[in-house]
Each structure stands twice: as structure tokens, then as C-alpha cells.
Amino acid sequence: MRGRVFAGLRRFAGGWRFWSLLWVVSVLALFAGCSSGGSGGTVQTQTTTYTIGGTVSGLSGSGLVLEDNGGNNTTITANGSFTFSTAIASGGAYSVTVLTQPSNPAQTCSVANGSGTASSNVTNVQVSCGAPTYTIGGTVSGLSGSGLVLQDNGGNNLTITANGSFTFSTAIASGGAYDVTVLTQPSSPAQLCSVTDGSGTVTANVTSVQVTCTALPTYTIGGTVTGLSGTGLVLQDNGDDNLSVTANGDFAFSTALASGSPYNVTVLTQPSSPAQNCTVADGSGTATADVTSVDVTCANLVANEWVWMAGSDVGNQAGTYGTQGTAAAANTPGARDYSVGWTDASGNLWLFGGEGFDSTDTFGGLNDLWEFSGGQWTWVSGSSFANELGRYGTEGTASSTNYPGERAGAAGWTDAAGNFWLFGGALYYPTKNYLYNDLWEYSGGEWKWVSGSSSLSQDGEYGTEGTAAAGNVPGARETAVSWIDSSGNFWIFGGEGFDSVGTNGGEAYLNDLWKYSGGEWTWMSGSETASQSGTNGGIGTFGTYGTLGSAAASNVPGARFGAASWTDQSGNLWLFGGYGFDSAGSFGYLNDLWKYSAGEWTWMGGSNLISQTGTYGTLGTAASTNIPGARSGAFSWTDKAGNFWLFGGGGFDSEGTEGELNDLWENSNAQWIWIGGSDTANQSGVYGTLGTPAASNIIGARVPAAGWTDATGRLWIFGGQGLTTTQQLSTLNDLWEYLP
């Protein structure tokens, strides 16, 4: 057994020695096979490379540079074959591109077959150069104005600022056409520039175009005035060239206009002593020769006669806005009611917002601002579309991008500097509790948010009665009545809106009196809460009348909206009518007359009960028994003699009929005088001839219209809701003038 084991071990040991020897021989043979004749046993390999090239065709310019793989730049000077200097290893990528395009002449060269993998010498890269392009230019001479713009082939505009050579930025392909023209002629001064040698076919850089500028011929603007008997007539051309006219006959403005310029002749100031109304015919056009055809016709104004001055005798008219900032005879605000009117320091009339028709005949809330001057309307600010929200900007900072949002029933006034102020109003919406209490100033062509909130439906912050404070502010409201006192302070009373606690969700009727002075509000009188419920509906404070003609600290008008107001020559505030609460708590139309003086209210006339009919008496005759009927939304003003005037509104006539009114009243020496219009409600207008006064003309019944008095004391009424010539109740945009 032991002998067999040892014999097996010997056989195993002998086999191991055999296989070890075989492995050593194999390794030596492998190293021997890797040696290839060099000394020292070094291993060597060899790499194959290929050249990259091709052909250039169409080259006529100089400066063409090609590159391969973002480098190895090669300058090409002629058509034919080319080869890059650096070869590419077999299997390597190549990418031929144009680094620099040719110039003199300019060309655009493109590459085909420009990229791939090198597996042999590359000779098929194709570089094709397009037709050469040439610049277009020339010389300008005689230029003294600014704004000259040239154009080539209907585009490629080039602004020229000085005499000398010019070149358009866009080159033209060889064989292409060029056509140089004047796109915009110079102005300041106006010139006429003409082009010679301005068109042709490009075969080289063009430098021969000649632009020669000369002064434009100028023409005078004039015409004839007839019917003038008053003094003070001032005509105006293009909004700035004024001409005083003292007699009938021919006239001409002193400033001549360059040929092709527009002219627009208007009446800046109407004659007085006697008062006249002058109208312009054939007043606008383009000056191509001396203009002598402008016709100015003047007619005497008779006291108590109405003149239909602008707008339509048909209701529900869309606005014609024209170009913002530019007056035009065709411009007119759309029909509207509950708008606000101002008169500036120059006697021009301004109109803001209301609810009515925009430029697209859409009915809604408006925030457009208009000026009426020289017999024409100018759209100044705001939107030509209804229902535009406000842009408040930063409180206390004016900006050209600021403007109040659309609103109706706001209060407004003009300060001593002629700036306009606007407070509150209602957002156009089916419910009435979307109300503003923001205060705005318009000055120097910009709006400034001054006070109040940029959010809707704010309660009032009353503070202490009689004490001004920065935190005080009236609650949001609409159709409040307002005044300017002798010191230039702004006052508001009542309206419909929010008291100090938001009674009835803001649909309460207010009798609070506020003063705005020195940048702060002061609660002066009335209640800070609408705590009483009327017998005919509504919530608000009832009137406390006291004794007729006697002031008392406890006296106060009842809560109301849509009242009329005046300021007398002593600076006292006067209040008439409106829709609100009487002494018994009944809710309806009022005709009570109140005075506020030295911090107390006095009941001065009319009834302390609602729904009173008018007592008209004899037309033109004062009487202590005369009294306008109860009404709301009338227009009121004070004449130069300090007399109070009242026009229209909605309420009761002499027969107790409720409707729209067109009666005109004057209060002089504490007595009412029925001056004009009808003593019965719902009268349509008699328009007569546009611009012509006549005893038969009559403004139709309406509520609530906007109105103004100008520097000569004439009354102007615009729009409102009333009756057209066909007895249709509509929203109006007619403008009327009246000489008291």
C-alpha cells in the first residue's frame, strides 16, 4: 500500500516539472515575437494622416478666410482648389467653415460637404460665393431743419442730422435695384428735401445720390369776420397763435404756416359788451396757398336765450375721441350723466367721467377727462373705453401714468391756482356699495392721489368734531354736495355711502359736513352714524329744522344726496333740496333751503316736509311766495352779482307731477324768480340751429347734468339723462350755452 502511494507521488512530481518548463518556453517566445529588428528590444507603431481641401467658386472680393475645426486658418485669394496646411489623422473629424467673408465687393460665401471623418485625402469641400453686394449712399446739402429721414427701396430708414455724405446700412446685391426717397421732411424749420440720381441698378458702391434741402414756402391763414358788434373777440389758430379782432372785415394771423401744414381756427374768447356768440366755418384744412376762406360769423346773445353749441340732439351717442391732446371740431364726449365739471383759471371748461357711452358705444363707468376751449373738445386724459380701473401710483406723487378709475357721482372743485380736485363717487356696478373715498388733484397735466384709500367701500374716520387730523377721512360715498369757501377750502355734505361703522353695507344716507384745508380733513357737523330708519325706507339722520330764519347749534339738514349748493359773496355755504329725510323722517324729494355760517345751520326757506310742488308765480317776476319744487340732481351756480341760479333736476313740477325738469330759477335778494323753461315736467328740447341763439330755443329736461360758468359769466350745461326731441328718455351729450 505504501509503495503504491509513493509511486503515484513520483509520477505527479514528474508531470509538474514538464508543464512548468513548457510555460517558460511560451513566455520567451511571446517576447521574441514582439521585437521587430530594433536594437535594445524597442516596440514601434506608425499613424496615417490625410489632407483636407476642396474648391472655391464665385469669389470676386478679397479677404475670404476659411478655417477647419475652429482653427488652421487659410486665406483664399482666388477661385480654384485649396488645401488646409494641417492634415487630419485617419478617422479624425474635420469641419470647414467661413471665418471671414469677402469684401471689396462684399460677398457671402457658403460651405457644402464641409464636415465628415477623414479616411482618405478630402478634396470635395465646396465653397460657393454669392453675387457681390454694394453700399448705397451720397451727399446731403442745404439741411438746416431736424428730423430728415431717408429710405431705400421702401425700407432701411436712415436719419440724417447734418449735411455731408451718408450711406445706408444695408448693402444691395450686384444687379439689384436701389431707390432712395425722403420718408420724413425736416422741421424746425420746415424744409422740402428732394432727391436726384436716387435710383438705378447696382454694379459698384453708389456714392452719387444727391439730397438737396430748401426752405418751404409759407402761407398766411385768414378770412372774414361778420356781425361783430361786441369787444374782446379773440381767434386762435392751431391752439397757440392768438389774434384779437376789433372790427368786421378781413383778418389774417401773424404767423405764416409752411406749405402742407395743417391749420385750425377757433374762437378763444367770445365778444362781450354786447355779449355775442361767434362761430367758425371752413376753419380747418391744409395750407397749400394763402388761406382767405375762414368765415367767422357773430350773433348777439340775448339774456335768457339758450344756444345749442355742440353734441347731438339725439340720445345715447358714443364718444368721438380723436387724438389724445388734440382739439378737433369732430371731437365730442359720449352721452353721460353724473359727471363732474370744472372751470380752469383761463375760463376753459373741463369734464370728467360719469356713467355713459364710450368710444365703442358701450355703456358703463367712464374716467375720461375732456377740455372745451375755443368751441372744440379735446380728450386730455383717461381711457376712451368704459369700466377702466384707476392707477394710483404713490400717494402724494404726481405722475403721467396716474389716473382715477371710472366713477359717477363724484364731487369736484377748482382751487385758487386753477388745479382740479376730485373726491369719491361710485364704481359702475349693479349694486351701489362699490364706492370711493379717494381724493385726487389734477395739475400740470398729471393726476396725483392725495388722500383716502385706493380700496373701495371704506368707512369714515371722523376723529373729533371740529378738529383736523391726518387720520381723518370721510367714508366712501356718491352724489355728495360740495362748495368752495372764500378762503379756498373744500367742503362736502352728505351723499349715499359709508358712515363710521358701515351702516346698511354702505347704502346709508349721510348728513355729515366735512372741510378739507391744509391737506387735512375736519368733521364739522352732522352725524357720524346713520342710525335712524325713515318711514318711506332708507336709513339716515332726520332733519332738525328749528325756527325758520334762526341759526342754532342743534339745527342740521337731514341726510340726503343730490342736493344743490352755492357760496355767497360773504363765503357762507347754501344748500337746497336733494333726495333724503325731512323733519318727520319721511324719505323723498326735498325743497328746503339752508345756510351754513359761523359753524351753525339756518333753515332759510322751502318746506321741512318732502314731495312739495313748485310755486312758479309769474315768469320773470320775483315773489316771496315763489319756490322751486322738491328735486334732486339739479345744477346750481352763483353769478357775478352773487345771485343763486338753479336748473332742472328730477322732482315735482307746479302740478305735483314727478319727472325730469327744465325750469330755470334765480334767487336774488332772498326771493325766487322763475326765469325760463317749463313749469311742467318732462319737456323735450327745442334745439334750433347749432351755434345760433334764438328766443325759441329751450334746453330739454334732464338730471343730473354737468355744468360750468365761464369767465364772462355765461352758463354751460352738458348732458345728463333727459328727453330728446322725440320725447325719448335717453342719456345726452348736448352742450348748451346761456347768458343770464
- Give the pLDDT confidence score for residue 299 in this predicted structure: 85
Asked if residue 89 belongs to a domain, the reply is yes
Q: Identify whether residues 60 and 97 lie together within a single domain.
A: yes
Asked if residue 647 belongs to a domain, the reply is no
Dihedral Cα 264, 265, 269, 275, nearest 10 deg: -140
Dihedral Cα 15, 19, 24, 25, nearest 10 deg: 100
Residue at a domain's end among 76, 97, 129:
129
Q: Identify whether residues 67 and 118 lie together within a single domain.
A: yes
- Number of other residues whose CB lies within 10 A of the CB of residue 325: 12
Residue 75 has phi, psi (to 5 degrees) of -85, 130
Q: Identify whether residues 271 and 244 lie together within a single domain.
A: yes
- Give the pLDDT confidence score for residue 665 in this predicted structure: 97
- Give the pLDDT confidence score for residue 430 in this predicted structure: 67
Q: Identify whether residues 224 and 248 lie together within a single domain.
A: yes
The rounded distance, in Å, linking the Cα atoms of 460 and 454 is: 14
Q: Which residues of 614-629 are buried (b: 16+ CB within 10 A; e: fewer)?
A: bbbbeeeebeeebbbb
Name the pTM for this structure.
Answer: 0.69
Longest Cα pair distance anywhere in the chain, in angstroms? 167
Strand 109-112: give its sheet, edge to edge.
80-83, 52-57, 122-129, 109-112
Residue at a domain's end among 191, 215, 239:
215
Q: Identify whether residues 239 and 296 lie together within a single domain.
A: yes
- Give the pLDDT confidence score for residue 416 in this predicted structure: 87
Looking at residue 736, its amino acid is W
Q: Which residues of 386-411 are buried (b: 16+ CB within 10 A; e: fewer)?
A: bbbebebbeeeebeeebbbbbbbbbb
Asked if residue 90 belongs to a domain, the reply is yes
Residue at a domain's end among 215, 246, 271:
215
List the one residue out of 659, 653, 338, 701 whose CA is nearest residue 495: 338
- Give the pLDDT confidence score for residue 63 in this predicted structure: 95
- Give the pLDDT confidence score for residue 45 in this predicted structure: 58
User: Checking phi first, is residue 346 left (phi over 0); if not, alpha (psi -120 to 50) or beta?
Assistant: alpha
Query: Which residues on adjacent β-strands are paired with residue 714?
Result: none
76-94: per-residue pLDDT in tens?
999 999 999 999 999 999 9
Asked if residue 148 belongs to a domain, the reply is yes
Q: How many domains, the chain?
A: 3
Q: Can you read off the three cell numbers belonging to residue 165?
A: 455724405
Asked if residue 29 belongs to a domain, the reply is no
Asked if residue 551 belongs to a domain, the reply is no
Asked if residue 590 belongs to a domain, the reply is no
List the one residue out of 193, 174, 176 whose CA is nearest residue 184: 193
Q: Identify whether residues 124 and 156 lie together within a single domain.
A: no
736 with 322: CB under 8 angstroms? no
Kindly list the distances between the CA atom of residue 116 and the CA atoms of 52, 58, 68, 123, in Å, as whole numbers in the listed order: 10, 24, 11, 12
What is the residue range of 260's domain?
A: 220-300
- Give the pLDDT confidence score for residue 433 in this predicted structure: 67
Q: Identify whether residues 119 and 173 lie together within a single domain.
A: no
Asked if residue 44 belongs to a domain, the reply is no
Residue 3 has phi, psi (to 5 degrees) of -65, -40
Q: Identify whether residues 140 and 200 lie together within a single domain.
A: yes
Q: Identify whether residues 138 and 196 lie together within a single domain.
A: yes
Q: Identify whether residues 125 and 154 lie together within a single domain.
A: no
In angstroms, what is the C-alpha Rg of the chain? Answer: 45
Q: Identify whether residues 211 and 231 lie together within a single domain.
A: no
Q: Identify whether residues 187 and 237 lie together within a single domain.
A: no
Query: Which residues on adjacent β-strands are paired with residue 366?
Result: 354
Low-confidence ranges of the chain (pLDDT < 70): 1-45, 430-433
